Amino acid sequence: MSAARTRIKICGLTREQDVDAAVAAGADAIGLVLYAKSPRCVTPERAGVLARRLPPFVTPVLLFVNETAANVRAACEQVPHALLQFHGDETPQQCIEAAAGRPWMRAARIPVDPAVPFDLLKFAADYSQAQALLLDAHVEGFGGAGKTFPWSRLPPNASFHAVLSGGLTPANVGDGIAQVRPRFATLAVDVSSGVESSKGIKDAGRIHQFVAAVRAADERLARSPHVPLPAA
């Protein structure tokens, strides 16, 4: 039995050498943050420069937080083939209007405290036009804080495409894939701080370690695909 291939996004890139390292390691997508309060923020023009280094079939992703539709569309002019990621408090209609027909995904910011309620299935229904939901920990600053959320609180069976994010590292991404993939139609993974030497500065060695850990997890699941879900 062949392994299902987990797609990988390296997010928060700010330097040419980091883009090149992500591509060399085998990443499927890179994330470019267009949120002024983030230490990983780049301008739309800078995002365009970095995205133009990408070879075919590696996708640039533009990350926005509560941005105006006009600014989203202006940024898309710099990176015409980008996938859009809405990571703030955007309503479904705001996402649709800002995307203007482009593919987009929506971040679901899941509380770290399991006592705080969060209905992911309702959230998915509300954002049914998203290409995927990115599952991130609800932290101050809209992501990139290296925090995980309790994976056990995810629904056991959901029909949408998911991207697991929030505190992933080369050490824990294999466990995340094993626990979370059986719950969704497909699973991809997204990492930012877990492959950094400092905020906004990626470490090529850690990127390669992360990709290798994902591939190892894929191989393990191919050998033993029926992994029981942990108790919630």
Q: What's the pLDDT score for residue 16?
A: 98
Catalytic annotation present for 203? no
3-state class (DSSP) for residue 109: strand
Indicate if the pLDDT at residue 230 is higher than 70.
Answer: no
* pTM greater than 0.95: no
Please state whether 33 falls in left (phi above 0), alpha (psi between -120 and 50) or beta. Answer: beta
Query: Structural domain tally of the chain?
Result: 1
Residue 31 lies in a domain: yes
pLDDT in tens, 83-128: 999 999 999 999 999 999 999 999 999 988 888 899 999 999 999 9
Residue 1 lies in a domain: no
Q: What's the pLDDT score for residue 112?
A: 86
User: For residue 145, what are the CA distances in angstroms to 40, 56, 89, 136, 196?
Assistant: 12, 30, 18, 10, 12
CATH number at 55 reads: 3.20.20.70
Q: State the pLDDT confidence band at 232, using cuts at 50, 70 and 90.
A: very low
Please return the burial class of 60, using the count of CB atoms within 10 Å of its CB with bins 0-12, 13-18 and 19+.
buried
Residue 52 lies in a domain: yes
Q: What's the pLDDT score for residue 56?
A: 97
Residue 2 lies in a domain: no
pLDDT in tens, 15-40: 999 999 999 999 999 999 999 999 99
CA 33 to chain centre: 12
Indicate if the pLDDT at residue 69 is higher than 70.
Answer: yes
Residue 229 lies in a domain: no
Indicate if the pLDDT at residue 227 is higher than 70.
Answer: no
Q: What's the pLDDT score for residue 231?
A: 43
The H-or-E segment that residue 47 falls in is: helix 44-51
Please state whether 112 falls in left (phi above 0), alpha (psi between -120 and 50) or beta. Answer: alpha
Q: State the pLDDT confidence band at 224, using cuts at 50, 70 and 90.
A: confident
pLDDT in tens, 167-215: 999 999 999 999 999 999 999 999 999 999 999 999 999 999 999 999 9
Catalytic annotation present for 76? no
Catalytic residue among 28, 41, 76, 136: 136
Q: Which residues contact 138 (CB under 8 A, 6 or more apart)?
A: 109, 110, 111, 112, 118, 149
Catalytic residue among 11, 41, 76, 95: 11
Q: State the sign of the Cα–Cα–Cα–Cα dihedral 161, 165, 170, 171.
A: negative
Residue 190 lies in a domain: yes
Residue 227 lies in a domain: no
Q: What's the pLDDT score for residue 113?
A: 86
Q: What's the pLDDT score for residue 90?
A: 97
- Residue pair 182/227 in contact (Cβ under 8 Å)? The answer is yes
Question: What is the domain range of residue 138?
Answer: 7-222
pLDDT in tens, 132-173: 999 998 876 655 556 889 999 899 999 999 999 999 999 999
Residue 231 lies in a domain: no
Indicate if the pLDDT at residue 1 is higher than 50.
Answer: no
- Phi then psi dihedrals of residue 177, to 5 deg: -65, -45
